[in-house]
Amino acid sequence: MLALALAASPLAAQTREITGKVTQAGAGTPISEATIGIVGAQLGVRANERGEYRLRVPEGDATLLVRAIGFKRQTLRVPATQATADFALEKDVLQLEGVTVTGQATEIDKRNASTAVASVSAEELMVAPAKSLEGNLSGKVIGATIFENSGVPGGGMQIQIRGATSILGQGDPLYVVDGVIVSNQSVQGGLSSISHSSGSTQSSQDQTVNRLADINPNDIENIEVLKSAAATAIYGSRATNGVVVITTKRGKAGATRYNVTQRVGSQQATRLLGSRHFSSYDQGCGATRNADSLAKCANGSVKPWIGSSTQADSVARANCTASGCAWYDWQGALYNNTSPAFETIMSASGGFNNTKYFGSVNDRQSPGTQQNSGARLSSGRVNLDQTIGDKITLSGGVNFSHNLTHNGIGGNDNSGISPMYALGYAPAIYNLEQIDPITHRPVKMFMNGGGSGTANPFDVVHQIVNAEDTWRQIGTVRLGYLALSTVKNTVQLTYLGGVDRFSFEGNQYSPNYLQFEPADGFLGTSQIDNTSSRNINQSLNAVWTFNPGYKWFNSAQTSVGGTYETQYTRNYLVRQRGLTPTRVIAANGSDIATFDEVREFRDQSHYINEQFIGLDEKLSVAIGVRDDRGSANGDRSKFYAFPKYSASYRFTEPLNRFTSAIDELKLRASYGQSGNRPNFGVREITIGSGGVIGGANSLSASSTVGNPNIKPEVMNEFEMGADAAFLRGRALLEVSRYNRVIKDLLVTYPLAPSSGLGTQTVNGGQISTRGIEAGLTLVPITNRNTEWTFRTTYQHNVQYVDKLTVPAFNAPGGSFGVSYGRNRVVAGTRPTYIWGNQVYSCINTTVDGKLVVGTGQDNKPCHRINAGDPSVAGSITRDSIIADANPIAQISFLNTVRWKNFSLTGLLDWRVAGYTADMTKNTWDEGGNSRDYDKAPPPNDAGYKTMGDFRYGTWNDGNIGTYIDRGTYLKLREISVSYLAPKAWASWLRANDLRISVQGRNLGMVTDYWSFDPEFNNFGNQNFNRFIDLGPYPSMRQFFLSIDLGY
C-alpha cells in the first residue's frame, strides 16, 4: 500500500502543480511523511522532511486530502487559480486516524474498520521498560489478559485474548513481525532434572521463558492485536487465539537521524512472605493441634519439627530461650539483589534517493532480585526499503538477537532447592548465611537431618546453574510490483518471505557436593538442552483496487493470495548424573539420559477477500474466505474454509438534537470463523517404544491412539460494537460485545485404563466465550501548554463448556490435582472453574443410584453412602466447584499529562476477583512457618488452635477452600516522568534533542492476596490451570533513569 501511494502517477495531459507545506497546528513544526492526494483518487505524494510537497493535479478545482500518522486528516478545496496550499494538522489524540491490517497485503482506514481495533503505538508501548514485550502491553489492549508467570528475570509471560479458545490446542496468539510468523515457543530449560518438580528431565515447571522475550520492544513502531474471528480469519487455522501484528520501525526520508538512549535502573522484590516468629521451643511443637503431641513434644519424646531429626531438634533447642527464639530474615537476604540494570539503545534512520534505512542495536542487562540471577538481551536490526524504477519496491529486514538468562531457582520442587518452597519447612531460627569453617560454604540445612531432602538456599542459589542461551535471527523480504496503475484501477503484486530461526541452549548444573545431592543416589547433575527452531512462511498476493469515483461506490478492493508455512523444532537433551568433581560434560556421568524429539508442521492456504466502501465512505463491507490445509490434520488433502463477513456504518451528522453532542458514531458487526489445528502427531497410529531390557530394544502398544479423522477446531465469532466520538473530539467511547463458539473442539478422550490404552484425541465438544469490552478516552485538557489524556478500559468475559461428546476430564496442562484445585472440562460448567475437594455432611442417594451431595440442612432426605445406618454422623469429601479462576473484570486506567516540556504517564491495572490456588501458603502452613500462623483462628472455627492450624487442618480434612484465594489486585503497572530539556542542554551534548526520564514498573500492588502475585502460575503458559502459585520466584519492581539523545 505504501508503494501504491508513492507511485508516480501517469496523469492525463491537462495538469497543473500545487505546492505547499504541512505543519503541526499550534507548534508549527513540519510534518514529514504526510501524504497529500486528491480526494477520491488513490495516488498521492509524500512530504519531505521539511514538510514540503509538490503535487500534480488535473486542471480545475481540486480537493486535496492530507494525512499523517498521529494527526487528524484534513481536506481542502483548492480553486483552479490557486497554486499553493498549506496545511496545519491537529494532533490525533483519540487515535481516530491510521490504518489497520485486513489481510496479508491489505489494510484499511481505521474509521472504516468493521471489527474492533486494538493498536498500541511505540510511544504507548515504551512508557517503562519491561522484562519482555508482553509486559509492555499489560493493561493497554482491551480484551487481552496478560499474565506474568513468576518474577524470573528475562521473560515468562502469557497473553490470552478473549479467554482461552482451546482445551488442547495452541493457546498463544499468532505473532507476526513485519510479515514473519515468529515462534513464541516455551522451551523447557530442564531445571526439573535437579528440582524433580516433575518426573522427567524437562517440564513446564522449569521457570520457562517463552521466546517472545527475544523481540526487542524498542524496535517496534506499532502493534495491532486482531481479536475477532472476522479479523483473524485471514490467518486461517492458526488464528483462534488472536493475531498480534508487530510492525517495526522503518527509515524515513531525509538526513540520517541518530538516537541514543542510556538507561540505568535497579530492582527489588515487590513483596516477600515474611515468616513465623517463634516465642518458645514448645511453640515449635504446634505444627499439630493434637494436645497429646504437644505434651510429648514438651517432654522430648516427640521432636518438634516436621521431618524431625536430632540435628533439627538440637538447633531448635539451641536457638530458643525462655524469652523466645532467634529470627532471621532469610528471604530479605536471598532476594536483595539491587545491582544496577543497564540498557543502551542506539538507532539510526534516514533515506536518500530511492533507499530508506533503519538500524538499531540494543543491549539490556536486567539482574533479578534473587542473588545470581539475571537476563541480558542484545539485539540488532536493519530494515531497508528500496524502490526500483516506478513499479518495483523491495523491502527487507533482519534482526539478530542474543538472549541469555540465568533464571535462578524457584517454583515447585521435590528436592528441597526452591527457596520459597523449602523455607516454608524451615523455622527461621538459625543463621543460614553463616559460613561453615570446613567447607567455606553456607552451613548445611538443619531440616530433615541432612544428606537429603533439602539444602541451604544461600548455597543453592550460588552453586546451581540454571541458564538459557538463545541466538535468534529473524528476516523478511517483501517484493512488490505495481502491475497496473490507472486513475481508477491499480493492481499490486506482492511476494513476502519470512524466516525465523533460533537455537536455544539450556544448561543446568548442580555440583556433586550440595547437601541434597545424595537424595537420588547420584552426586551431581549436569544437563545440556539444545533446541533448534525454524519457521518459514511465504505468501504471494495480488490486490486489485478499484476506485470508480462515485459517491455511493467509493472503492472496492479485491485481494487473492496463497501462503505456505513450515515450522520445525528439534529438541535434543543430554542429562548426566553421578559426576566427578567440576566436570560437567555428558561423557562423564555414571547415569546418562538422552531425549530427542522433532516437531514439524506444514500448512498451505489460499484466500480471497473483498472490501467495499461506499455511501460517501460511510458504509464499509468486507467478505472473504481462506482455505487451509495442513500436515497436522487427519486428512492432509482437505481444505478447511474459514469465511468472514463484516460491515460498519458511520453516522457523521447528528441524527437529532439529542445526538448533536456526538461527532461521529460507527456501528459495526462481524461474523467470522478461524481455526486451531490439531497438535503434532495426533493423527498417526503409532506403536511405542517398550524400553530396553538386557540390551535388547523393544516395541509396545502406544498409550495414545491416533485419530486419522482429526480436523481443526473452528471458532465462530459474532461481534458487534459501536465507536462514538463526542464532545467535539474530546471523548471516544468504544464498546464491543462478542460471542465466540468453538466447535469441533479438540479433546482428549481418556480411555478406561482397562483398555490398556491412555487417550485418544477427538473433535468432540464445544466451548464458548461471551464477553464485553469497552474503552473510554477523554481529553479533559488540551491547550498550548497542557494536554491531559485519560483512558480507561474494561473487559469481562465468561467461558462455558457447552457440550462434550466425551466424559468430563481434567483440563490438560499442569496442575496438582484434586487436593490443590484444578480446572475441569465438564459440560454445562465453566472450564475456568477451580474444582477441588470439599467436605459435605451428607449424601442424598436417588433411586437411579446417582449421588447428590448436600449439606444436610436443605431438608432433603439424607442418607449415608454406605447405607445401613443413616444416623451415623459423618461427612464426605467430594470434588466440587470451589471458585472461578477467571476474573470478573479487568480494568485499566491510563493517564498521560503533558505540561510544557514535562510529561507524566501512569497506568493502573485492576483485576476484580479471579481465584488462585495459593499453594505457597499451603506449604508454609504445612511447614508451620507462615507469618500469621499464630493468629487467632476465625471465630466460627475456634476448635482450631491458630490461624495456620485452621487453614491447614481444614484443608487436610478435605476442604481445599482455605487455600483458594481471591486474586483481586490494583497494580501500579507503569509510571514515567520525563522532561524534554531545552535545546541549549542538548547542544551542550552536541545533540538536537535531550530527554530525561524517570520510569518505574510494577511499583506497587494493593491486594489482600496472601502470597506473591495472583498473576503467577507455576506451570508457565497454558490455556487452563493457570492459577497455581507455588513457591515462585518473587515478583519485582523496577526503577529506571533514562537519557535519550537525538542527533
**Residue placing its CB nearer to another protein in the complex, 415 or 1002:** 415
Shortest Cβ 1029–another protein spacing (Å)? 16
Helices (H), 788-946: 919-926
Q: Are 127 and 907 in contact (CB under 8 A)?
A: yes
Start-to-end CA span in the chain (Å): 30
Least Cβ distance, residue 840 to another protein (angstroms)? 11
Q: Does 922 bind another protein (CB under 8 A)?
A: no
Q: Find the shortest distance in angstroms from Cβ 333 to another protein.
A: 23
**How far apart are alpha carbons 1018 and 147 in whole angstroms?**
12
Q: Does 754 engage in binding with another protein (CB under 8 A)? A: yes
3-class SS string, 104-160: CCCEEEHHHCCCCCCEEEHHHHCCCCCCCHHHHHCCCCCCEEEEECCCCCCCCEEEE
Give the one residue of 83, 388, 585, 592 binding another protein; rule: CB under 8 A: 592
Q: Cα 476 from chain centroid?
A: 24
- As beta bridge partners, residue 355 has 352, 386
C-alpha to C-alpha distance for 530 and 516, rounded to whole angstroms? 27
- In the list 11, 80, 699, 1006, the residue contacting another protein (rule: CB under 8 A) is 699
Q: Give CA–CA dist 1036/1018, Å, rounded.
A: 16
Q: Which is nearer to another protein, 786 or 855 (CB)?
A: 855
In Å, what is the CA distance from 268 to each residue of 148, 302, 956? 16, 41, 35
Instruction: Please give the residues from 630 up to 649 whose contact with another protein meets the rule CB under 8 A.
Output: 630-631, 636-637
Give whichever of 426 and 908 is closer to another protein, judged by the CB atom: 426
Euclidean distance between CA atoms 929 and 937, whole angstroms: 16
Nearer to another protein, 70 or 758 (CB): 758
Q: How far apart are CB 416 and another protein at their closest, in Å?
A: 6
What is the closest distance, in whole angstroms, from the C-beta atom of residue 667 to another protein in the complex?
32
DSSP alpha helix (H) spans, 708-803: none
Write the binding mask 663 to 692 for another protein: x where contact by CB under 8 A, - elsewhere: -----------------xx--xxxxxxxxx
Dihedral through CA 615, CA 617, CA 621, CA 626, nearest 10? 140
Q: Does 750 engage in binding with another protein (CB under 8 A)? A: yes
Residue 1008 engages another protein in binding (rule: CB under 8 A): no
Do 132 and 147 meet the contact criterion of CB atoms below 8 Å apart?
no
Contact with another protein (CB under 8 A): which of 818, 908, 991, 994? 818
Phi, psi of 986 (to 5 degrees): -65, -45
Q: How far is CA 426 from CA 106, 281, 448, 450, in A?
A: 61, 14, 10, 13
Decide: is 822 part of the binding site for another protein (CB under 8 A).
no
What phi and psi values does residue 300 have, to the nearest 5 degrees? 90, -5
Q: Decide if residue 849 touches another protein (CB under 8 A).
A: yes
Q: Is residue 856 involved in binding another protein (CB under 8 A)? A: no
Among 79, 549, 874, 938, binds another protein (CB under 8 A): 874
Site string for another protein, 514-553 (x = CB under 8 A): ----xxxxx---------------xxxxx-x-x-------
Which CB sits closer to another protein, 153 or 624? 624
What does the block give as the cell for 199? 518426573
CA dihedral 121, 123, 127, 133 (to 10 degrees): 40
Q: Using CB under 8 A, which residues numbered 596 to 625 contact another protein?
A: 597-598, 600, 602-606, 608
Element (H, E) at 318: helix 310-319
Question: 522 near 591, Cβ under 8 Å?
Answer: yes
Residue closer to another protein, measured from CB, 152 or 519: 519
Q: Are 413 and 422 in contact (CB under 8 A)?
A: yes
What single DSSP character describes residue 30? B
Q: Which residues in the 456-495 window bind another protein by CB under 8 A?
A: 483-484, 486, 488-489, 491, 493
> Which DSSP helix (H) or strand (E) runs through 852?
strand 851-854
Per-residue mark of binding to another protein, 418-447 (x: CB under 8 A): ---x---x----------------------
Which residues between 270 and 289 bind another protein (CB under 8 A)?
287-288
Selected binder of another protein within 16, 46, 864, 931 (CB under 8 A): 864
Q: By CB under 8 A, what part of segment 935-974 binds another protein?
A: 956-958
561 binds another protein per the rule CB under 8 A: yes
CA distances from 943 to 286, 861, 946, 954 (A): 14, 29, 9, 11
Among 30, 254, 307, 396, the residue binding another protein under the rule CB under 8 A is 307
755 makes contact with another protein (CB under 8 A): yes
CB of 116 to another protein, least distance (A): 29
Distance of alpha carbon 387 from alpha carbon 394, whole angstroms: 6
The least distance separating another protein from the CB of residue 328, rounded to whole angstroms, comes to 22
State which residue, 347 or 508, has the beta carbon closest to another protein. 508
Q: What is the CA radius of gyration of the chain?
A: 31
Quote the DSSP letter at residue 220: E
Q: State the minimum distance, in angstroms, from the CB of residue 562 to another protein.
A: 4
Task: Give the number of other CB atoms < 10 A from CB of residue 172.
Answer: 22
Among 121, 170, 875, 992, the residue binding another protein under the rule CB under 8 A is 875
Q: Which stretch binds another protein (CB under 8 A): 275-283, 302-310, 651-659, 670-678?
A: 302-310
Q: Decide: 612 and 620 in contact? Cβ < 8 Å.
A: yes
Q: How many residues bind another protein (CB under 8 A)?
A: 124
- Determine the Cα–Cα distance for residues 885 and 1023; give it in Å rounded to an integer: 12
Q: Is 943 exposed, middle or buried (0-12, 13-18, 19+ CB in 10 A)?
A: exposed
Candidate residues 298, 615, 852, 865; the one interacting with another protein per rule CB under 8 A: 865
Q: Which of 12, 231, 287 is nearest to 115 (CA)?
A: 231
Of the pair 64, 682, the CB lying nearest another protein is at 682
Task: Report the residue number, 32 or 566, with the smaller CB distance to another protein.
Answer: 566
Residue 426 C-beta: closest distance to another protein, Å: 12
The amino acid present at 354, given as its one-letter code, is N
**CB of 734 within 8 A of CB of 775?**
yes
Q: Which residue of 302, 392, 398, 774 would you call a contact of another protein, by CB under 8 A?
A: 302
Stretch that binds another protein, among 107-115, 259-267, 307-315, 891-899 (CB under 8 A): 307-315
How far apart are alpha carbons 50 and 894 in whole angstroms? Answer: 33
Angle among Cα 449, 453, 455 to the nearest 5 degrees reads: 85
Stretch that binds another protein, among 106-114, 396-404, 765-773, 815-823 (CB under 8 A): 815-823
Stretch binding another protein (CB under 8 A), from 109-117, 203-211, 305-313, 499-507: 305-313
Judged by beta carbon, residue 170 or residue 895, the one nearer another protein is 170
Q: What is the spatial distance between Cα 348 and Cα 751, in angstroms, rounded to a whole number?
A: 60
Which range, of 383-391, 392-400, 412-420, 770-778, touches another protein by CB under 8 A? 412-420
Among 851, 936, 942, 1006, binds another protein (CB under 8 A): 851
Q: Binding mask 777-806 vs another protein (x if CB under 8 A, - otherwise)?
A: ------------------------------
11 touching another protein, by CB under 8 A: no
Task: State in angstroms the smallest separation of the CB of 457 from another protein.
Answer: 14
Tell me whether residue 392 or residue 757 sits nearer to another protein (CB atom): 757
Report the sign of the C-alpha dihedral through residues 174, 177, 180, 182, in that order: negative
Our finding on whether 389 is near another protein (CB under 8 A) is no
**Which of positions 196-215 make contact with another protein (CB under 8 A)?**
none
Q: Which of 593, 647, 667, 781 binds another protein (CB under 8 A)?
A: 593
